[in-house]
Amino acid sequence: MKKESKTSRYLIPAALIVCALAFIVTGILDKEVLTVLRKAAAICMECIGLG
Amino acid sequence: MKNVILWLFGIEESALSDPVTIAAIIASFAVIAAVIAVFIVLAVKRRFRIREWGNKAWQRTKLITQSCFFMLTNSFMVGWFKGTIYQGKLKYLCVPGMNCYSCPGAWGACPIGSLQAIFNDFDAAKSWVDPKTGTYVKVPKYWFAFYVIGLMMLIGAVCGRLVCGLLCPFGWVQDLIYKIPVKKLRLPRDEMRIANSKHPKAVRFFLGLDKYLRYAKYAFLIVMVIFLPLMVKADPWFCKYVCPSGMLLGGIPLMSMNKSLADAAGSLTLLKLCILASLVVISIFLYRPFCRYICPLGAIYSFFNKVSLYRYGIDDASCNRAKGCAACAHACPMGVDPVRDPNSLECIRCGTCAASCPKKAIRPGFRFKTAEGNAIRTKKSK
Ligand code: SF4
Ligand code: SF4
Ligand code: SF4
């Protein structure tokens, strides 16, 4: 069987983590967090089955 | 100090004159302190080293971890005491599991709800009324949810579906229901075991079907969480028409504490109650039906199982598979064979296989090699 390389074992997750952090910063700068807070801080009628 | 508490709890100063609120704040701190103490004890006693404990002890640790994490993320006691929800700034953040933000105790936002909220958002300045039909055409404000997808990606890249195994409240609820002692329906996923099983033909047909039904969660993700909220707008479709977690953690407690909300219940409430009740009944016999077939969050995390930092691996030099052992595959409640595919999309990283292996050959963690120098295989076997 082909041996697993150390690089692929750790490099891929590291790259994904960096990418994820970049996404989070982009989202914050784009004010997506405000949409999240606005929705999350009021009772969501759809969630609780009242439509 | 007072200002920190006001900020943290998202309440006005006048609320502090209410003894119930004060009691709730003290209760919140007590719960958080107790949970942290439990986690410290578990860590000091090395209870998270799955392989070092038998399956029975590990299942206990797992249940304690799930219960404590639920209590930690839902310990806004003001909400539980007064039938309201948390409105403070911590709700900018998403919790890792399916935890409805309308749960009275929830400190954080649900990632799937937040994803739909972002796709639902529209740009009022660019939206317009179609003169022919008179309908208001909403132009999406965001075509991609960088923030929420980034958060899910971060969690996924670190630990994949470990969230499902240990941290998700709805997974925990299903685990508790599955503890009801009745004869269980076990669904092995590979054809050999299905063909050799002693079930009648009709049951064998369903066993085969299970494999395909598991793709349904990806359909729920694409259609109800992304496509419909983005293109049809108006509603968070998954939350509104499917999500049983919202009904269980948000709907039932809030409606039982607020008469005005209970009075507003209608056909949609009934639909969601029916979905919840069906899942509860199925969960008695079949392990985690919601996670298997429906959950869009599990679907997202599943993509990261094979590439996350924390992975399951097999020490092939110790494994007794060649001599016919399959204790791990028989123990797996999700029907995965970890020796064949240690990081299967369906693996919820519950640790049951690792705790059940007599040779301690299943290695969950971050390591590349065992202490003895054996290679740890994280890829599928040929
Ligand atoms: S599949 Fe969904 S509901 Fe199940 S444990 Fe994972 S996140 Fe929670
Ligand atoms: S239980 Fe352990 S020894 Fe047996 S097949 Fe599974 S990994 Fe190998
Ligand atoms: S393979 Fe099965 S038993 Fe092992 S961690 Fe994954 S879901 Fe749990």
**Minimum CA distance residue for ligand 1 atom 5:** B164
Query: Could you tell me which residues come within 8 angstroms of residue B112 by beta carbon, excluding any fewer than 6 positions away?
Result: B98, B225, B238, B239, B243, B296, B297
> Both B172 and B247 in a single domain?
yes
Q: Give the CA distances from residue B323 to residues B90, B189, B250, B354, B372, in Å, rounded to whole numbers and listed in that order.
A: 53, 21, 50, 18, 22
- Interatomic CA distance for residues B214 and B289, integer angstroms: 10
Based on the fold, state whether residues B275 and B319 are members of the same structural domain.
no
pLDDT at B235: 84
User: Where in the sequence is the domain holding B260, given as residue range(s)?
Assistant: 86-125+133-180+215-299
Contact B343, B162 (CB under 8 A): no
- Predicted local distance difference test score (pLDDT) of residue A6: 77
Q: Can you tell me the distance from the alpha carbon of B79 to that of B60, in angstroms, rounded to the nearest whole number?
A: 29
Q: How does DSSP classify residue B149?
A: H
Q: Tens place of pLDDT for every residue, chain B, 382 residues? A: 888 999 999 998 888 889 999 999 999 999 999 999 999 999 999 999 998 889 999 999 999 999 999 999 999 999 999 999 999 999 999 999 999 999 999 999 999 999 999 998 888 788 778 888 877 778 888 999 999 999 999 999 999 999 999 999 999 999 999 999 998 887 665 545 555 666 777 777 777 788 889 999 999 999 999 999 888 767 899 999 999 999 999 999 999 999 999 999 889 999 999 999 999 999 999 999 999 999 999 999 999 999 999 999 999 999 999 998 999 999 999 989 999 999 999 999 999 999 999 999 999 999 888 888 888 999 998 7
Chain B residues with beta carbon closer than 8 angstroms to that of A28: 147
pLDDT of residue B197: 65
Q: Would residue A1 count as lying in a domain?
A: no
B266, closest residue in chain A (CA to CA): A50
Predicted pLDDT at B203: 73
Contact B101 A47 (CB under 8 A): yes
Give yes or no: residues B223 and B150 share one domain. yes
- How high is the pLDDT of residue B137? 78
Determine the structural domain holding residue A15 and report its residue range.
Answer: 6-47
Minimal-distance CA residue to ligand 3 atom 2 = B332
For residue A40, the model assigns a pLDDT of: 93
Which residue, chain included where needed, has tokens 């499902």? Answer: B164
Q: What is the distance in angstroms between the CA of the first residue and the CA of the last residue of chain B?
A: 60
In a domain, A20, yes or no: yes
Q: Chain B interface, mutation test: which of A19, A24, A28, A46, most B Cβ atoms within 10 Å?
A: A46
What residue type is B154 in one-letter code?
L
The count of structural domains within chain B is 2
Could you tell me if residue B167 is inside a domain?
yes
Q: What is the pLDDT of residues A1-51, one digit of tens each?
A: 556 677 788 999 999 999 999 999 999 999 999 999 999 999 999 999 887
Greatest pairwise CA separation for chain B in angstroms? 74
Stated as kind and residue range, the H or E segment containing B297 is: helix B296-302
Mutate to test the pocket of ligand 2, among B362, B377, B378 (most ligand atoms within 8 A of CB): B362
Question: B378 and B247 share a domain?
Answer: no
Q: What is the pLDDT of residue A8?
A: 80
What pLDDT is stored for residue B368 in this prediction?
A: 84
Contact B162, B298 (CB under 8 A): no
Q: What are the residues whose beta carbons fall under 8 Å from the beta carbon of B294, sequence distance 6 or more? A: B216, B217, B220, B242
Q: Give domain status of residue B33, yes or no.
A: no
Identify any residues that bridge with B365 across adjacent strands, giving them in sequence order: B311
The answer to whether the CB atoms of B101 and A51 lie below 8 A apart is: no
| Per-residue pLDDT, A9 | 86
| pLDDT given for residue B305 in this prediction | 96
B245: burial class by Cβ within 10 Å (0-12, 13-18, 19+)? Answer: buried
Residue B326 in any domain: the answer is yes
The string of DSSP letters for B305-367 reads TTT-SSEEEE-TTT--GGGT--HHHHH-TT---TTT-TT-TT-----HHHHH-TT--EEEES-
Closest chain B residue to the Cα of A36, Cα to Cα: B114
Residue B285 burial by Cβ neighbours in a 10 Å radius (0-12, 13-18, 19+): middle
Q: Is residue B57 part of a domain?
A: no
